[in-house]
């Protein structure tokens, strides 16, 4: 028995710290930024809120070098954007200021204005979510939240769900392919497709439920319910400046919403 | 540090809800009773979820947990914690596949939420719903860019309500024949008819200042109601299980509540549309003269009860296939397993 002569060295993956202009920030700061952008975009009505959130998110996206991928992400909301634009431009309740008449439909100025504001709002929100997703590793966020008092149950639920989603999606795709190979119709009319749901849901759900019992036992076997806290080895950098920024963003965004509600019509 | 985080979350929630109520109270046509009711539900739920669920700091030494925190923590056994991520993944995977791969005009993204609510209780159900939508919105590569995030509130309410159904034992198998089968079906059809009639005659829709719906909407409500009643009746009689009738009522109620909660979100956040097939209903209602909020509400009251009833039946079928031995180990297990089954297990098996 020789006593350990060297101090234990932490493995690389624990010590690795994200770097970069926006990426290097503490995960909590990035989370607060995304939340503040959503609050301002949705809470401050008119042009001001969506425009401010949009500009802030785009600037941060450019700084972090993920602008191109953010744009790709926001393509996913294209159906929603088209719908907002079309439904509101042509069917805005109580609007009579005609812009152009196309067949039986009349486009109105107030409808188009509301549609563009809604469009900007959704794009700003979608980009803020994409910015957060692209610049923050979920592991880092969970470590940070756990260090700040989130219980291990919370971090298990979120962390495990994130791993389970792609796995379950993959499984749903496999099951759909397998059932299609056996003649399930995924192209026919709505009723046929509805019938196709049954052989899809069954295997996915029962496969997933089968895991639950094993996981519960595995958790119990690893002292999941033991009292006391886990020791967090991975420490992410934080600073009093970031702390101040977080509070400013949080309080500022809520105050902006309150101001815009208290003074309706003062902002463009 | 932990306390601080929850205080911030609680403050944000309260301020956001207060501002929403304030804003809505400024508009005369909104029914203040609905908002008061929603506030009365939201406030305590938010407080309980925030104060108990994620952290659940273990009591130190001999300190006895209070009644409320005992009630809350009894819903979060290790088995429930293991089920929640699976349910979240189920919500996202099945919702995504239904909407994007099979291109159906229903959502089917709350099977996991209702399942957790029914087997574990209102708080895990609410938390599963909220986390599903937030993860769907914010997790990389799954859904960022889609419009699901703000509807986390709706999903939370759905999970909480389904927890109440679980507590009431709505999803327990109730084999019966003859009159004991016919009476529940009659009650179920009556309740659904009352709900449908409420939608049919709700004063906002017929008020000439707001404008009514086009005529086919009323026809559609009646037709869908009749088809749903027939489907429920057939389901109950073929399976000889009265549970189907109660589940139909639970589904219709859950859907109506979901519609009431989603309409202001869709109206204020997305100008009334959601980018899915249901938008054409919104467009039709607007053509009929309804305003942004009422066209969203009308669309929700049409789609959500149908979607949630289907979801509740899927959950009922899932539960009927899971072995009672496993079900009995969940917090509401004894309410889901028939006592005369001979297979009900005492205790929670931990």
Residue with tokens 């004894």: B334
Instruction: Check: CB of residue B245 under 8 Å from CB of residue A18.
Output: no
Q: Which of A35, A31, A53 is nearest to A120 (CA)?
A: A53
Mutate to test the interface with A, among B93, B126, B278 (most CBs of A within 10 A): B93
Identify which has the larger pLDDT, B237 or B69: B237
Displacement of CA B161 from its chain's centroid (Å): 6
Cα separation, A160 vs A203, whole angstroms: 20
Q: What is the pLDDT of residue B14?
A: 62
A189: Cβ contacts below 8 Å, ≥ 6 apart:
none
What is the pTM for the complete model shown?
A: 0.80
Average pLDDT of span A122-129: 89
φ, ψ for residue A105, nearest 5 deg: -100, 145
Instruction: Check: CB of residue B226 under 8 Å from CB of residue B255.
Output: no
Instruction: Check: CB of residue B263 under 8 Å from CB of residue B300.
Output: yes
Q: Which of A85, A125, A51 is nearest to B273 (CA)?
A: A85
Strand partners, B175: B241
| ipTM metric | 0.85
Beta strands in B177-248 (DSSP E): none
Degrees, nearest 5: CA angle B95-B101-B107: 30
Contacts of residue B79 in chain A, CB cutoff 8 Å?
212-213, 216
Displacement of CA B307 from its chain's centroid (Å): 10
Shortest distance, CA B166 to any CA of chain A (angstroms): 18
At A157-182, the pLDDT tens digits run 988 888 888 888 888 888 888 888 88
Contacts of residue B145 in chain A, CB cutoff 8 Å?
73-77, 126, 129-130
Instruction: Provide the token pair at A109.
Output: 């100025």
Mutate to test the interface with B, among A153, A226, A252 (most CBs of B within 10 A): A153
Instruction: Check: CB of residue A175 under 8 Å from CB of residue A203.
Output: yes
Mutate to test the interface with A, among B24, B50, B62, B89 (most CBs of A within 10 A): B89
Beta strands in chain B (DSSP E): none
Residue with tokens 């295997």: A203
Residue with tokens 């602008």: A67
At B40-97, the pLDDT tens digits run 556 656 555 545 444 334 444 444 556 667 777 788 888 999 999 999 999 988 888 7
C-alpha torsion angle, residues A54, A55, A61, A67 (rounded to 10)? 70
Q: From the list B5, B53, B101, which residue is nearest A176 (CB)?
A: B101
Mean of per-residue pLDDT scores for chain B: 75
Q: From the list A38, A134, A208, which residue is nearest B86 (CB)?
A: A208
Band (pLDDT 50/70/90 cuts) for residue B39 is low
Instruction: Check: CB of residue B316 under 8 Å from CB of residue B249.
Output: no
């Amino acid at each position: 028995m020789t006593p350990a002569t060297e101090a234990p060295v932490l493995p690389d993956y624990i010590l690795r710290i994200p770097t970069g202009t926006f990426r290097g920030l503490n995960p909590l700061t990035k989370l607060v930024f995304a939340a503040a952008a959503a609050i301002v975009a949705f809470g401050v009505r008119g042009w001001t809120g969506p425009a401010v959130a949009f500009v802030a998110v785009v600037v941060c996206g450019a700084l972090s070098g993920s602008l191109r991928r953010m744009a790709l992400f926001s393509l996913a909301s294209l159906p929603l954007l088209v719908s907002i634009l079309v439904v509101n431009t042509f069917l805005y309740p109580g609007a009579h200021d005609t812009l152009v008449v196309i067949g039986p439909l009349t486009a109105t100025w107030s409808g188009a204005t509301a549609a563009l504001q809604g469009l900007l709002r959704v794009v700003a929100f979608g980009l803020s979510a994409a910015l957060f997703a692209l610049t923050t590793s979920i592991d880092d966020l969970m470590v940070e939240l756990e260090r700040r008092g989130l219980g291990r149950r919370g971090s298990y639920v979120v962390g495990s769900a994130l791993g389970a989603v792609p796995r379950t999606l993959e499984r749903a795709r496999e099951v759909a392919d397998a059932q299609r190979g056996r003649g399930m119709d995924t192209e026919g009319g709505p009723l046929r497709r509805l019938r196709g749901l049954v052989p899809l849901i069954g295997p996915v759900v029962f496969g997933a439920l089968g895991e639950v019992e094993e996981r519960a036992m595995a958790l119990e076997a690893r002292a999941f319910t033991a009292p006391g806290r886990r020791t967090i080895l991975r420490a992410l950098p934080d600073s009093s400046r970031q702390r101040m920024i977080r509070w400013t963003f949080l309080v500022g965004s809520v105050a902006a919403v309150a101001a815009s509600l208290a003074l309706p019509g003062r902002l463009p | 540090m932990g306390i601080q985080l929850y205080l911030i979350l609680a403050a944000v929630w309260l301020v956001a809800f207060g501002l929403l109520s304030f804003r809505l109270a400024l508009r005369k046509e909104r029914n203040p009773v609905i908002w008061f009711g929603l506030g009365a539900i939201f406030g305590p739920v938010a407080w309980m979820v925030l104060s108990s669920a994620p952290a659940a700091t273990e009591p130190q030494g001999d300190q006895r947990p209070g009644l409320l925190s005992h009630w809350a923590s009894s819903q979060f056994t290790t088995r429930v914690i293991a089920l929640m991520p699976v349910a979240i993944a189920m919500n996202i995977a099945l919702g995504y596949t239904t909407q994007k791969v099979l291109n159906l005009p229903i959502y089917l993204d709350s099977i996991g939420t209702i399942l957790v609510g029914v087997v574990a209780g209102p708080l895990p159900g609410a938390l599963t719903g909220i986390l599903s939508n937030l993860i769907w919105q914010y997790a990389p590569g799954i859904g960022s860019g889609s419009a699901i995030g703000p509807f986390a509130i709706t999903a939370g309410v759905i999970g909480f309500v389904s927890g109440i159904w679980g507590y009431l034992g709505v999803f327990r198998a109730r084999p019966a024949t003859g009159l004991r089968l016919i009476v529940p079906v009659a009650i179920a059809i009556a309740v659904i008819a009352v709900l449908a009639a409420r939608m049919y005659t709700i004063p906002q829709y017929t008020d000439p200042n707001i404008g009514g719906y086009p005529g086919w909407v009323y026809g559609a409500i009646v037709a869908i109601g009749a088809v749903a009643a027939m489907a429920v009746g057939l389901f109950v009689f073929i399976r000889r299980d009265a549970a189907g009738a109660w589940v139909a009522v639970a589904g219709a109620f859950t859907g109506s509540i979901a519609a009431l909660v989603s309409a202001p979100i869709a109206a204020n956040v997305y100008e009334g549309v959601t980018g899915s097939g249901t938008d054409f209903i919104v467009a039709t209602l607007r053509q009929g003269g309804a305003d942004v909020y009422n066209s969203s509400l009308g669309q929700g009251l049409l789609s959500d009860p149908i979607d949630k009833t289907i979801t509740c039946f899927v959950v009922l079928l899932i539960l009927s296939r899971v072995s009672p031995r496993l079900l009995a180990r969940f917090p509401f297990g004894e309410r889901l397993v028939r006592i005369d089954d001979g297979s009900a297990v005492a205790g929670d098996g931990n």
